[in-house]
Amino acid sequence: MITRCPYDEQIECDLWIEYQVIKVSLEEAEQLYSNNQRLIMLLRDRVNNLESILNDAGIAYPSSNI
């Protein structure tokens, strides 16, 4: 099925091509999200470890409100 391309009204594009473009975009977004989530978890674990070391050493540090 042919329809007007959402990116350029002067161009007609196949809905299948449009679907493929959107599908690839969503897959890339999911990959970036997953990588960011892993990085956030790694950094949070590191912060927790550093806070534990500071607590064990009796060193004061500002608490976060997050």
What's the whole-model pTM score?
0.60
Q: What is the pLDDT along the chain (66 residues), one digit of tens a residue?
A: 566 666 666 666 677 778 888 999 999 999 999 999 999 999 999 999 999 999 999 999 888 766
- In this prediction, residue 6 carries a pLDDT of 65
Residues 6+ away with beta carbon under 8 Å from 4: 11, 12, 13
List the Cα angle 63/64/66 in 5-degree steps. 155
Can you list the alpha helix ranges (DSSP code H) found in 1-66? 15-57
Task: Provide the 3-class DSSP secondary structure of residue 64.
Answer: coil
Among 5, 29, 33, CA closest to 17: 5
- In this prediction, residue 14 carries a pLDDT of 72
Q: How far apart are CA 2 and CA 12, in angstroms?
A: 6
- In this prediction, residue 5 carries a pLDDT of 66
